[in-house]
Structure 1
C-alpha cells in the first residue's frame, strides 16, 4: 500500500470499493498526520484537532474562486448559460462566505425555524408507519428503499410544496447532483458520473424549480412560499438564490438523512442489545443517533479553502490551498474518543458530523427528528429483524457514505 504522503494513498480513499469499510485507511492517514498530496496545493486533514481548527478558522472559505486549483467536476459556467450561478450552486449559501452567507442563512432561517420543525413530528410518524405498513403487506423489507429513502424525501417535498408525483424525477436529479460533491482522482474512474449528465441534471432541476416558483404565492403555507416572502430589512432572496436554496434544501434535506437513518439502523442490527433497549425506551434514540453520527457519519469529508495562510501543528496551509477534512476519521480520533471503533451510545456528544462554526448544518434538527422517528418505529414494530447480507452493498458516493440496500428478514411488522 502506498504511504499516506503519496497521492496514490488518497486515491484509495476515493475508490468506491473501499466504501464498505474505509476506517482502517482513515486510521492510517490519521496516524501519519496532516498530509500534503505530493507537490499539489491539496492537504488532507484527519485528526479531530486539525479538522475542528479549520472548520472554525476565520480564513477558512467555501468559495471556490479562492482555490489555487480549479474545483468542481464540470465547467458548469461554460455550459449552463444565463443561470450558471443557480445551476452550479454558487448562488447557494453552501458555497458562500460572510457577509453573503450570513445574509442568505438569516433569510432562510426565517422560514426554517426549530418551531416549524417540531410541528412536523406527527406527520413524520405517519409517513414512517405507512412505509412499514407497506413492507408488512409485501412481506419483505429493505431498510433503505422502504424506510430510509421514502421518509425524508416525502418530508422535504411536502415541506417545500413539491408534488410527490415528481419524486422519481427529483430522485434521479438529486442522486446525480450529490455526486458533484465527490473529489476526483485520475486513478479512480469507477462510478464517476458523466459531466454532461451533471450539467443536464442541474439545468433540468433549475428549470423545474423556476416553473414551480412562478406558480407559487407569497401567501402559501409551504416553505417555498415562505422563502419567496422572506425579507430582512428590505432584503430578499434573488431569483437565482431562491432556486439554489430550494435545490440545496431538496438535496441536503434527504440525501444525507437517508444515509443517517440507514447507517443507524445498520449499527443497531449489528448491536442488537441497543435495538432491544430502543424498542422499549424511545428517549434512548437521542444517544443512539449522536453515536451513529460519530461512529459512521453520513458525510465523510468536507473541503475548505484557505483564503490566507492557516497554521496547524506540523503543516501550514498556504493561501489557495484546498483542505480536505476527513470528518469520519476525526470522529474516530482516539485522542478524543477512546476505543473509537466501538459503537457506544453512552459517549459524550462531540462529533463533527454536522460541522462547526458558521456552516453548521441548518437542517440538523430535522435530520435528527426524522432519524429518531424512523429508528424508534423500526425498533418497536419490526420483530426479530436480521441482516440478509453483512456488509451490505454501498453506494458509489465518496463524500456521502451509506448502504445502497439493507435487506432484512423479520417474523412480523406489528
Structure 2
C-alpha cells in the first residue's frame, strides 16, 4: 500500500460528479491517509461497506474520545446522551406527522411552480421554488406564522450559507453571523414559550409535550429547556437549507440528464427517480460529519487508531460499483440501498420530510414544465460550499 498522503479537497473537474480520485482510491486504497484543508490528519473512506461501518459502528463517534463539548444540547453527541435525546425527539417527529403533511407540501409545490411558470422565463428556481417551499414546509411543521418566515430565512441564510473558501480567506462577517445566530436562537426560545402557553398540533407543541410530560409521575425522562430550544433551532435552520439544496440539485441532475420529460411521461416512476437522484447527489449537497475512532479499529484492512479522524464519503460510497453496477448511469429502477441520509444512530432525522419535499417539487416541475432547462452552463451556477450543506446560491432556469 502506498504511503502517499493526499490533501483535501481533491480535484473536482465536474461539479455534479465526484472527484475522479475517489474511484482510484476505492479500488486500491478504500481507507487512505489524507490531510484536511486546515492540515488535520484523517482517514478518507471511499468504499460502501467501509463507509457503512464508520457510520453505524459504535466504535466511531461524532466527537473525539472524551471530547464532547460541555453544554452540547443537540443530537450531535455519542452514546447514551445521543440515544436518550434521539428517542425523546423521535416521539414527536414521527413518520405519521410527516406523512400527514404530504398533501399540504404538494399543494405548496403546485403554488410556487405555478407562480414561476405564470411569471415566465427566465427564473431563479432557488428563489421561486426551492427556498419558499422549504421554508414554508418547515414553517408549517413547526408552527411559524407566514409573516415571520422571510425573516427566519434571512437568519438561517446568514448563519448557514457561509462559504468555506470565504472562511479560509478570513472574509467572514463574524459579528453578523453571531447576531443572526443569537436572533435565531432567541426566536426559537420565543416559539417554545408561546407553545407552552398555548399548545397546537405542530411539532414544537409536540416537543413541549415531551418536555412537560416527562415531569409527570411515571415519566423519568424529559427534554430540558436548553435541549428543547436547541432542537427547534436545528430543525428550523438546517431543515430549511438541506431541503432547499436537495430540491435545487435534484433539478439540476434531472434537467442536465434529460430526465424531466421522461418523468413527465412516466409519473409512476417518481419514487424511484427520487431515490436515484438522492444517490447521485450525495456529496454535492453535503457529506456526513467527521467521525472519530473511539478505540483501535481494523477497517478494510487498515489499522485505525483510537482518536483518529475518519471521513466517510457518502458520494464515493454511493457510487461504489461493488454495490451499484454502472454507478455513473442514472438508473431509477436499480436496487438502491444508498446512504444519502447516512446510516446508523445518526441517520438524518428529517430524511422522510426531505423525500416528501423533493418528490413534490420534481412531480410538479415535470408536470408543468417538462421543457425546463438551465439558463446558462452548469459551470456558471453560483455555488456556496458551506460548512453544513452546499448548494446553488441561485439556479437560473428557462423553458
| Structure 2 match to 1:241 | 227
User: 1:343, 1:34 → 2: CA distance?
Assistant: 27
Q: Which residue of 2 aligns with 1:81?
A: none
Q: How many pairs align?
A: 382
- Distance between the aligned counterparts of 2:50 and 2:337, measured in 1? 14
Number of the residue aligned with 1:118: 99
Residue pair 2:248, 2:391 contacting (<8 A) in 1 also:
yes
Q: What secondary structure is seen at the aligned counterpart in 2 of 1:374?
A: helix
Matched, 1:165 2:180: no
Alignment of 1:117-266 (within 5 A): 117-140=98-121, 141-178=123-160, 189=168, 193-217=172-196, 219-230=199-210, 231=213, 233-266=219-252
- Answer with 213-222 or 143-152: which moved more: 213-222
Deviation at 1:205, TM superposition (A): 1.6
Aligned-residue offset at 1:279? 1.5
1:352-375 CA deviation, whole Å, 9 max, x = no partner?
Answer: 111111111111111111111110
Aligned equivalents of 1:147, 1:19: Cα separation in 2: 22
Q: Which secondary structure state, in structure 1, belongs to the residue aligned with residue 383 of structure 2?
A: coil
Deviations 1:279-305 (A, max 9, x none): 143331111111111111232343111
Q: Structure 1-normalised TM-score? A: 0.83
- Cα gap change, 1:98/1:203 in structure 2, threshold over 3 Å: closer, same or farther? same
* 1:305 to 1:196, Cα distance in 2 relative to 1, 3 A: farther
8 Å CA contact 2:267, 2:363 repeated in 1? yes
Contact persistence 1:128–1:374 (CA under 8 A):
yes
Once the two structures are TM-superposed, the CA of residue 190 in structure 1 deviates from its matched residue by 5.3
Q: For 2:274, which of 245, 266, 289 is the aligned residue?
A: 289
What RMSD in Å do the two structures reach over aligned CA positions?
A: 2.9
Decide which of 402, 407, 412 is 2:391's aligned counterpart.
402
Could you report, residue by residue, the CA deviation over 1:208-241 in whole angstroms, capped at 9, with x for unpaired residues?
2112222223632211111011145342211110
* 1:393 counterpart = 2:382: yes
Shift of residue 92, structure 1, vs aligned partner: 0.8
Q: Shift of residue 175 of structure 1?
A: 2.9
Q: Corresponding residue for 1:26?
A: 22
Paired with 2:157 and 2:17, the residues of 1 have a C-alpha distance of: 22
164 and 194 in structure 1: CA distance in 2 versus 1, 3 angstrom threshold:
same
Secondary structure (helix, strand or coil) at the match of 1:120 reads helix
Does the residue aligned with 2:303 lie in a helix, a strand or coil?
strand
When structure 1 is superposed on structure 2, of 225-234 and 154-163 the one drifting more is 225-234
* CA shift digits 1:109-141 (9 cap, x unpaired): 222111111111221122111112321332133
CA distance in 2, matches of 1:167, 1:397: 22
TM-superposed deviation, 1:398: 5.9
Where in structure 1 are there 5+ consecutive unaligned residues? Answer: 72-76, 78-83
Whether the 8 Å CA contact 2:126–2:248 is kept in 1: the answer is yes
- Segments of 5+ residues of structure 2 without an aligned counterpart are none
Query: Is this contact kept in 1: 2:161–2:384, CA < 8 A?
Result: no
Query: 1:302 and 2:289 equivalent?
Result: yes
Structure 2 distance, partners of 1:139, 1:259, is 23
- TM-score, length basis structure 2: 0.86
CA distance in 1, matches of 2:167, 2:174: 15
CA displacement at 1:351 relative to structure 2:
0.9
